[in-house]
Structure 1
Amino acid sequence: MNYDTFVDQVARRTRASSTDAVERTRATLETLAERLTGGEVLDLAAQLPAPLQLALKPGAGAEAADRFGAAEFVARVSRRAGVDESTARDAVRAVFTTLREAIAGGEFDEVVTRLPRDYRDMVEPALAPGTALRGR
């Protein structure tokens, strides 16, 4: 999937402008990069268009994941995107669903099944049929 298609899908799913979809996608991917290990981030980024890879760039010392729950994930996206938490939650769902469509081979499913159960509300709509979150 190319960058423009990715943004268009997020915009359609969130009923937002392309500009807003870009900001919400960036905020979600930057937050996801904090939540994953450096290796997981690099594996995921390698399958995305260059502008999305930049948002997924792991920070210094990112070999270990920053362990935070779904509420904190949404709060971080909300702050980064400058939107309320309800809008941020919808954006996270849209970005996760679009990521799953953009990535081949089940890589996205492997990443999200490592997230704790409290992410279920945001992640399960994006999972392939038959994939479930494990309890953590």
Structure 2
Amino acid sequence: MKYNEFIEAVAGRVGGSQDEAAVLAVAVLATLAERLTADEAHDLSSELPKALQGPLRGRRSRPAEAFGVDEFVRRVAERAGVGPDRARVGTRAVFATLHEAVSGGEFRDVVAQLPPEFADLIETVPRHTRAPG
């Protein structure tokens, strides 16, 4: 999946602009990098467009942090400059888009590093179609 396709998919799922979708995508990926092992973050980044790889590759030498879904959403909200409800919607949209963008095995590897409480964020979120104009 190309960068613009990824961002358009996130924007369609959150019902927002591409600029907002790009900010949310980077915030979610940077937070996910903190939650994953460095090797897994690197593996995930290798299947994404180059413009989305940086947030995942910044923590190569640090161990994965153990934090729950509420802290994940709080960090996304802080990074993206949005409220917690918007951060939760954005996180779900990015996970759904990741599910489409990377191989099934890679997505399963990512999900395997997250506790069961993340299931609500990982559910597939359909893309919304926008009316022209």
Task: Give the TM-score normalised by structure 2.
Answer: 0.89
AA in 2 matched with 1:12: G
How high is the sequence identity, in percent, across the aligned residues?
Answer: 46
SS in 1 for 2:123: helix
The match for 1:102 is: 101
- 1:19-98 matched pairs, under 5 angstroms: 19-59=19-59, 61-62=61-62, 64-98=63-97
SS in 1 for 2:85: helix
Give per-residue Cα distances to partners, 1:29-64, cap 9 Å, x unaligned. 0000000000000100000110100121132532x2
Q: Using CA pairs below 8 Å that are at least 6 residues apart, which structure has the higher relative contact order?
A: 2
* Residue pair 1:42, 1:58 contacting (<8 A) in 2 also: no
| Higher deviation after alignment, 93-102 or 52-61 | 52-61
* Structure 2 residues without counterparts, runs of 5 or longer: 126-133
Give per-residue Cα distances to partners, 1:55-112, cap 9 Å, x unaligned. 21132532x2111000000000000000000000000000000001000242112211
AA in 1 matched with 2:45: A
SS in 2 for 1:106: helix
* Structure 1 residues without counterparts, runs of 5 or longer: 127-136
The match for 1:2 is: 2
Task: Give the TM-score normalised by structure 1.
Answer: 0.87
Mapped partners of 1:72, 1:10: distance in 2: 21
SS in 1 for 2:124: helix
RMSD value over aligned CA atoms? Answer: 1.2
Mapped partners of 1:80, 1:114: distance in 2: 22
* Residue pair 2:40, 2:109 contacting (<8 A) in 1 also: no
